[in-house]
Structure 1
Amino acid sequence: MLGDVPPGAPDLELRGAALRGGVVMAIVNRTTDSFYAPARFPDDAAALDAVARAADDGAQIVDVGGVRAGVGPEISVAEEIDRVVPFVAQVRAQVPDILVSVDTWRSEVAAAAVSAGADLLNDTWAGHDPALVEVAGRHGVGVVCSHTGGLPPRTDPHHVSFPLPADAPAGTDPQDGVVLDVLQTLRRAAERAVACGVPSASVLVDPTHDFGKTTANSLRLVRRADALVALGYPVLMALSRKDFVGETLDLPADLRLEGTLAATAVAAWLGVRVFRTHDVLATRRTLDLVAAVRGELAPRAPRRGL
Structure 2
Amino acid sequence: MKFDLLKINSIDQVKKIMKNINADDIGIELMINKTINLSFLIYECDFYIANIVKQEALASGIDACVSKDAITAKVTKTDCLVFGDVKRLYMLANKLVNQSFKDLRELGIKLKQQLDAYFGNFLWQVGEKTFDLTNNYLIMGILNVTPDSFYDGGKYDTVSKALFRCEQILNEKADIIDIGAVSTRPFSQIVAQDEEKKRLLPVLEAIRKRFPDAILSVDTFNSSVAKEVFNYDVSIINDISGFTFDENMSECIVECNFSCVIMHIKGTPKTMQENPTYTHLITEINDFFDNAIKKLSKNNYDPKKIVLDPGIGFGKTTQHNLEIIKNIESLKIFGRPILIGLSRKSFIGNILNKDVNERLFGTIGANVASYFHGARIFRVHDVAANKEALEIAYQLNN
- The 8 Å contact of residues 201 and 229 in structure 2, kept in 1 or not, is answered as yes
Counterpart residue number, 1:139: 256
Counterpart residue number, 1:199: 302
RMSD: 2.0
- The 8 Å contact of residues 146 and 205 in structure 1, kept in 2 or not, is answered as yes
**Alpha-carbon distance change, 198 to 284 in structure 1, aligned in 2, over 3 angstroms:** farther
Mapping for residues 27-66 of structure 1, pairs under 5 Å: 27-37=142-152, 40-66=155-181
For 1:230 and 1:186, how far apart are their aligned partners in 2? 10
For 2:299 and 2:378, how far apart are their aligned partners in 1? 25
For 1:24 and 1:182, how far apart are their aligned partners in 2? 23
- The 8 Å contact of residues 11 and 273 in structure 1, kept in 2 or not, is answered as no
- The 8 Å contact of residues 137 and 376 in structure 2, kept in 1 or not, is answered as yes
Question: Where in structure 2 are there 5+ consecutive unaligned residues?
Answer: 1-35, 38-117
SS at match of 2:315: coil
Counterpart residue number, 1:120: 236
Q: How much does 1:12 deviate?
A: 1.7
Counterpart residue number, 2:205: 89
SS at match of 1:42: coil
Q: Quick check: which has more Rg, 1 or 2?
A: 2
SS at match of 2:196: helix
Q: What is the number of equivalent residue pairs in this alignment?
A: 278
For 1:104 and 1:137, how far apart are their aligned partners in 2? 16
One-letter code aligned to 1:138:
E
Mapping for residues 1-306 of structure 1, pairs under 5 Å: 10-20=122-132, 21-37=136-152, 40-70=155-185, 71-72=187-188, 74-127=190-243, 128-149=245-266, 151-163=267-279, 177-295=280-398
SS at match of 2:334: coil
> TM-score scaled by structure 1?
0.85
> TM-score scaled by structure 2?
0.66
Higher helix share: 2
For 1:8 and 1:23, how far apart are their aligned partners in 2? 19
Q: How much does 1:73 deviate?
A: 5.0
For 2:120 and 2:162, how far apart are their aligned partners in 1? 33
Higher strand share: 2
Question: Where in structure 1 are there 5+ consecutive unaligned residues?
Answer: 164-176, 296-306
Q: How much does 1:153 deviate?
A: 4.4
For 2:300 and 2:165, how far apart are their aligned partners in 1? 33
**Segment drifting more, 120-129 vs 194-203:** 194-203
For 1:196 and 1:244, how far apart are their aligned partners in 2? 38
- The 8 Å contact of residues 155 and 161 in structure 2, kept in 1 or not, is answered as no
> Deviating runs (4+, > 6 A) in structure 1?
6-9
SS at match of 2:125: strand
- The 8 Å contact of residues 120 and 144 in structure 1, kept in 2 or not, is answered as yes
For 2:164 and 2:297, how far apart are their aligned partners in 1? 35
Greater relative contact order: 1 or 2 (C-alpha under 8 angstroms, separation 6 or more)? 1
- The 8 Å contact of residues 210 and 218 in structure 1, kept in 2 or not, is answered as yes
